[in-house]
Amino acid sequence: MTCIKPNLFNFLRWRARFAARLTGRFLPCRRAGDVKTIVCFICGGLGDRLMALPALRRLRVVYPEARMCVAWMDGSLEVADREFDEIHNTVRAHPLTAIRIAMRKWDVVYVNEQGIFSVCSEWCAAVSRAPVRIGPVIGGCNDPVFNRPYAVDPDRHVTVTNYRGVDVYETDKPIGYDIHLHKRKIIDENKGWRRIGIHPGVGKGYEIKRWPLQCFRELLDRIVNDFEAEPVLFAGPGEEREIQSLRSNRIGIVATPDIGSLFDALGSCDLFIANDSGPAHAAASIGVPLIVLFGPTDPVKVGPVFKKGEIVRGDCPKAPCFDQKNVTCGRNECMDSISVETVIAAVKRLL
């Protein structure tokens, strides 16, 4: 029975995607005119939302008079909400709400690269009947849902791919997604201690991207003993219990249950150390010096775009293997091979 459920889910997912494409093929578009309304269906986690910002900002430039609605399919991004006219959060959890939004009168529909994995976003684009529907495709550019498709390139950074969906860009260099917040510092006036934020977690289902907790424990001991710094553990939703084992009298925990609290806590850090995860992208977006631990994923494609920071990778010939079929590390060799000494050396350089 355990084998049937994933196969049934994949079958239903394939049929739903096939139905969306039939709908997009036979449902006629509305007549094109001046672009007055734009809706963007942005899929993926926090990092994906941030990496979609350059494309959304470019849409603002290309259509300056249009009213712009952003539907965050898998969460929220309240620190950027003021840039847009209308916001809807966690839309994928309410498919009927997503369809109702899509069926309003839109002149342009935009879906970010991560939407290639979202049946819901395809349905929204198909039923919108918008004259311009911009979305990602793999391989050829003939797509019945998106009449302005853009190619997903595995060798190009996500920010560039998203941007090219709106406007052809002249460079393949990753594009920054700065969030302008008032950055504050918390420094012990007597000792001049600096705060080092550390996020040992990863998103649910992405445990393969996590550096072992024992390595984080050794790293914390070295920071406490070797630096005049205050290490603080960041715990996202559901991570508090697991991270409690790393806590001590000299190491505190900051709970970040939502996007606002995460950015507030990051604003007090002089350095941030994390796995490849949303908080790493958040730190990069507000200019916090950053150390990111990469294993199975490819920093060329999904690495945070930072002003000051370092990517630390392990020594594994199979990496990156996250998006490659029939390639397995067996026991997560790529993350296990990152040494504590390598991370400490990066801390010394950045502090």
pLDDT digits (tens, 9 = 90+) for 284-323: 999 999 999 998 899 999 999 999 999 999 887 676 777 6
Confidence of residue 190 (pLDDT cuts 50, 70, 90): very low
Distance of CA 319 to the CA centre of its chain: 20
pLDDT value for 24: 59
Residues near 257 by beta carbon (within 8 Å), at least 6 away in sequence: 236, 237
pLDDT value for 5: 47
Tell me: cis bond preceding 320? Omega within 30 of 0 counts: yes
pLDDT value for 250: 80
Please tell me the pTM assigned to this model: 0.89
Summarize the confidence of residues 2-18 as an average pLDDT: 54
Give me 113's structure tokens.
């690269």
pLDDT value for 9: 57
Whether pLDDT at 83 is above 70: yes
Summarize the confidence of residues 13-19 as an average pLDDT: 60
Q: Which sign, positive or negative, has the C-alpha torsion 12, 14, 16, 19?
A: negative
pLDDT value for 207: 87
The helix (run of H) or strand (run of E) holding residue 144 is none
Instruction: Tell me 81's DSSP state.
Output: G
Instruction: Tell me 255's DSSP state.
Output: E
**Most confidently predicted of 15-19, 24-28, 256-260:** 256-260
Whether 293 and 276 have beta carbons less than 8 Å apart is answered as yes
Per the model's pLDDT, the better-predicted residue between 341 and 3 turns out to be 341
Summarize the confidence of residues 256-273 as an average pLDDT: 94
| Percent of the chain's residues with pLDDT above 90 | 64
Q: What are phi and psi of 232, to 5 degrees?
A: -130, 130
The helix (run of H) or strand (run of E) holding residue 311 is strand 309-313
Q: What are phi and psi of 22, to 5 degrees?
A: -65, -40
CA distances from 205 to 33, 116, 202, 209, 210 (A): 44, 18, 8, 10, 11
pLDDT tens-digit map of 191-234: 557 899 999 999 888 888 999 999 999 999 999 999 988 999 99
Whether 101 and 76 have beta carbons less than 8 Å apart is answered as no
Whether pLDDT at 247 is above 80: yes
User: What is the rounded CA–CA span in Å between residue 220 and residue 168?
Assistant: 45
pLDDT value for 126: 92
Q: List, in order of start, the domains of the chain with CATH numbers.
A: 18-166 (3.40.50.2000), 194-350 (3.40.50.2000)
Nearest-CA neighbor of 274 among 165, 347, 172, 176?
347
